[in-house]
Amino acid sequence: MRFKRVLVTGSSRGIGRAIAQRLAQTGWSVAVHYTSTEKEAAQTEKILGSACSGVYRADLSVPSNARKLFDAALADGPIQAIVNNAGVYMPLDFLQSGDAAFSANFHKTFSINFESPLALIRASARHFNENGGGKILNVASRVGFRGEGGAALYASSKAALINLTRSLAVELAPKNIQLFGIAPGWVDTAMSREGMSERFEQIKETIPLGRMATPQDCAATAAFLLSEDAAYLSGVVIDINGASYFH
């Protein structure tokens, strides 16, 4: 019997789809979100079958849409958890980029990677506070800890998300609201293979475990954090990087 419902942003493919699938396998009913990949979202819905409790489109580059997304999903049933997975990575040459390009990169990166998750957290936390508690999982990144050349704005947005997770974990714990994060390093997805095909093998050689993470590696950790086995954890951000970075 399914008794828990979770909203997973960016769950039409990649890490988000893997998280949605793993949560469905462990008893969650999953609300699927996508921005433009309607075909892939339909595939996720098919994979989840009866565990899918709705498919919702929202452009999270506009932060006000995050609250609308939550309200739309909530209208179809109670929500006990959210996963802020949707994100964007836009490489940037800090010195050479023009002012207009820099400003556009900044606003889109922070809107999707930080402002929209913040809006979803505010909306969900208020709902959880009125209904006995809930869980919030934020998908950050290794670069939020170590930084990354050519990705200063992306790394900064993920660092902000990490510290938001920790700060709100303290503030919301008395309300029985738990916050967690995962910080993947390199993850083997179709998107990453397309974007770094020439460097793929070279990158793997930098990882002590000898391979990149899979979306399923990320999903397994996410499922643990949203399970009752993590009932006494909050504020933790778990690295998923094959021993490639410690902090």
Catalytic amino acids? Answer: 154
- Rounded to whole angstroms, the Cα distance separating 1 from 3 reads 6
- In sign, the C-alpha dihedral spanning 104, 88, 69, 236 is negative
Whether 100 contacts 144, CB under 8 Å: no
Task: Name, in order, each residue with C-beta under 8 angstroms of 221's C-beta and a sequence gap of 6 or more.
Answer: 182, 238, 240
- Rounded to whole angstroms, the Cα distance separating 132 from 142 reads 32
Report the half-sphere exposure of 37 (CA within 13 A, side-chain side): 17
Residue with token string 């990453």: 192
Structure tokens given for 49 = 């079958």
